[in-house]
Amino acid sequence: MPLFSWSGEFTMSVKIDGRDATVYQEKHHQEGDGRTRSEGWICSEVGKSYTIEFGKEGYDARMDPGTRHKDISAYLRIDGVKTEDLAVRQTKKHCHFKGPIDLNKQRRPYMFQKPELRVEDSDDESETTINTAIGTLEVILYRVEYYTQSMPYTPREVVNLTSAISEKHKKGLFTCVTQYGPPVPPSKDSTFLKRKSTQDEEGSPYCKMTIHYASKEVLQAMDIIPRDPRPPTPPARLPTSTPTPPADAIDAKPLISRSPSPQVDVEATGSSAGNPSTKRKRGGGDADAHDDKAVLKRKLQSEMTEALRGYDGTAIDLTLDDMDEAGTAKLSGEKIDLTDD
């Protein structure tokens, strides 16, 4: 979208590498006697070339048919330096600032570049130092009348553009400046028009159109352009609570950890036929396991003795089905060996 003048008579747009740059925060001002000033902002891109297009359809539509100043003289200032001037005849609706033509008849296109900090002891008024507060592209318009006959254009020396900025501007908004790119041949031969008369004084133009340029990060920090959307922050994960075990389980935990774990030893023995066989035996091979087994056996024997003392005469079936040859009582559940070692 281009920058429009206050009256809508003129437009100004910037094409960066052939693409229209969006103009942000367009503002308009009236300065008396019908003179206006408009301004806006664009994002500059280091290393890319650009051109400036100027249009005057609105001016042609509003112009009084009886006026003799039907032409427009347009000046371009870049970072405060006048680089080009164009004569826009009444019949021409658009013109382009593509860069000046040097003495070798080569066009010098405009290009965004990084600035360079000037040395501290340099003069602020030096022609090799940028003295504006921020990068600017300014088109200044005068109402004039040209002679009908045009003459061949005579190449002139190109005004230098500098990338140096002063010490007082190093912390400002200068993240990008304009330099000339590699020379290219012009698309066609230029002509020169001589001014016949002017309606506006040199220091009092009819209209000014200014586009400030800076990096995307600077414009976002100034709230001139919207910031990039940020991905939504994922919700915080709540810590998973571990259920608290009952008090009796906590008290039993040290006892369980201290109790000996049962082990199974497999010992190879020779059978009567000479073939190896295996015999499973509960308990470990250490002394603690044997002591626990002896205590358990004595406890069971004592309990059985006490039970027999209160025997009331009821018969107890101890057939071979309930006791094997080794004297092991067949009880439901796990077997308990009551034989002597």
Per-residue confidence (pLDDT) for residue 129, from 0 to 100: 61
Does this model's pTM top 0.85?
no
Whole-number Å distance between alpha carbons of 20 and 12: 11
Other Cβ atoms less than 10 A from the Cβ of 73: the count is 23
Pair 83, 100: CB distance under 8 Å: yes
Per-residue confidence (pLDDT) for residue 160, from 0 to 100: 86
Per-residue confidence (pLDDT) for residue 145, from 0 to 100: 92
Burial classification of residue 276, based on how many CB atoms lie within 10 Å of its CB (0-12 exposed, 13-18 middle, 19 or more buried): exposed
Whole-number Å distance between alpha carbons of 79 and 264: 93
Domain ranges of the chain: 3-221, 263-268+277-309
Residue 27 backbone phi and psi in degrees, to 5: -135, 150
Query: Beta strands of 17-103 (E only): which ranges?
Result: 19-20, 24-30, 36-43, 49-55, 71-78, 81-88, 94-97
DSSP lists the bridge partners of residue 276 as: 270
**Is a pLDDT exceeding 50 seen at residue 273?**
no
Whole-number Å distance between alpha carbons of 286 and 167: 88
DSSP lists the bridge partners of residue 168 as: none
- pLDDT per position as a tens digit, 234-246: 776 666 656 666 6
Sign of CA dihedral 156, 162, 168, 173: positive
327 vs 170: which has the higher pLDDT: 170
14 vs 131: which has the higher pLDDT: 14
Overall average pLDDT of the 221-225 stretch: 89
* DSSP code for 182: S
**Is a pLDDT exceeding 50 seen at residue 69?**
yes
**Is a pLDDT exceeding 90 seen at residue 110?**
yes
Residue 51 backbone phi and psi in degrees, to 5: -130, 160
- pLDDT per position as a tens digit, 26-53: 999 988 777 889 999 999 999 999 999 9
Rg, the chain, Cα only: 51
The residue written with tokens 């280091």 in the block is 46
**Is a pLDDT exceeding 60 seen at residue 65?**
yes
